[in-house]
C-alpha cells in the first residue's frame, strides 16, 4: 500500500517569518498561518472558522520566504505534516504538529 502525506493550505501569514541559520549554513524559516472557512449555519446566518497552522521550510524555500513574505502575505503552501515532541520548562512532554513546506507561492487576493 502506497500512502501519501500531503497538505495544501491557502491563507495569510500571522507573523513575520523567523529565520534561523545553522552552523552548516542550512536555513529554516518558521511562521504561523491562518486559514479561514466561511459558511452558512442551519439558521441561515453567515459564520466563519479560522484555523492556525505552524509552518516551517528549509533551504531554498526558506530563502524565498525570507525575501518575499511578511505578516499578512496571502500564500499557498504545499507540504507534509510532521509531528514532533519536546520537553517544556516544567518537564512536561509536549507535542506539536506542523506543516513542512516544500513549495510556497505568493498569491493575489481575489476581489
Domains in the chain, CATH or no CATH each: 7-106 (2.40.50.140)
Q: What's residue 17's pLDDT?
A: 97
- Answer for the pair 58, 66: CB distance below 8 angstroms, yes or no: no
Q: How far apart are CA 104 and CA 79, in angstroms?
A: 9
Q: What is the model's pTM?
A: 0.82
* pLDDT at 111 > cutoff 50: no
- Answer for the pair 76, 104: CB distance below 8 angstroms, yes or no: yes
Portion of the chain with pLDDT greater than 90, in percent: 91
Long-range CB pairs of 89-96, under 8 A, 24+ apart, other chains included: 96/54
Q: How much is the mean pLDDT over the chain?
A: 92
Q: How confident is the model at residue 2 (pLDDT cuts 50, 70, 90)?
A: low
* pLDDT at 97 > cutoff 60: yes
Amino acid at each position: 500500500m502506497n500512502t501519501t502525506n500531503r497538505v495544501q493550505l491557502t491563507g495569510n501569514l500571522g507573523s513575520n517569518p523567523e529565520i534561523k541559520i545553522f552552523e552548516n549554513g542550512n536555513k529554516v524559516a518558521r511562521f504561523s498561518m491562518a486559514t479561514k472557512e466561511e459558511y452558512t449555519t442551519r439558521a441561515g446566518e453567515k459564520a466563519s472558522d479560522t484555523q492556525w497552522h505552524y509552518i516551517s521550510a528549509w533551504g531554498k524555500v526558506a530563502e524565498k520566504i525570507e525575501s518575499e513574505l511578511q505578516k499578512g502575505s496571502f500564500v499557498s503552501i504545499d507540504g507534509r505534516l510532521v509531528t514532533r515532541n519536546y520537553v517544556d520548562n516544567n518537564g512536561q512532554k509536549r507535542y506539536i504538529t506542523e506543516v513542512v513546506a516544500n513549495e510556497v507561492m505568493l498569491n493575489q487576493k481575489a476581489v
